[in-house]
Structure 1
Amino acid sequence: MKCEIEFLPVGDVSKAGDAIVIRYGEPYDYKLMLVDGGHAETGDRIVAHLRKNFGPDAALEHALLTHSDGDHANGLPTVLKTIRVANLWLHAPWLHAADALPLFANKTMTVDGLARTLKSNYDIISDICDLAVAQRCYVHAAFAGYQIGPFRVLSPSMRTYLHLLPQFDKTPDPDQRAIERQGLWIGKASPASRLFESVKASLQSWTTETWDRERLRDGGITSASNESSVVLYGSFEGGPALLTGDAGNRGLGWAAEEAVRLGLPLQGFQMVQVPHHGSRRNSGPTMLDRILGPIQPQHGPTRFHAYVSAPTDDSKHPRNIVLNAFTRRGGYVTATQGVSKVHWGGFPARPGYSAAQPLPFFSRVEEYT
Structure 2
Amino acid sequence: MFDVAKIRADFPILAREVNGQPLTYLDNGASAQKPQVVIDAITQAYTSEYANVHRGLHFLSNLATDKYENVRQVVAKFLNAGHEDEIIFTSGTTEGINLVSYGWGAEHLCPGDEIVLSVLEHHANIVPWHFLRDRQGVVLKWVDCAPDGSLDPQAVIDAIGPKTKLVAITQMSNVTGTRVDVKTICHAARARGVATLVDGSQGAVHGPVDVQDMGCDFYPITGHKLYGPSGSGAIYIRAERQAEMRPFLGGGDMIDTVTRDSVSYAKPPLKFEAGTPGIVQTIGMGVALDYLMQIGMENIAAYEAELAAYATAKLQNLNWLNVQGTAPGKGAIFSFTMEGAHPHDISTVLDKKGVAVRAGSHCAMPLMQHLGVTATCRASLAMYNTTDEIDRLVDALELCREFFG
TM-score by structure 2 length?
0.28
TM-score by structure 1 length?
0.29
Higher-helix-fraction structure: 2
Query: Whose relative contact order is higher, 1 or 2, with alpha carbons under 8 Å and at least 6 apart?
Result: 2
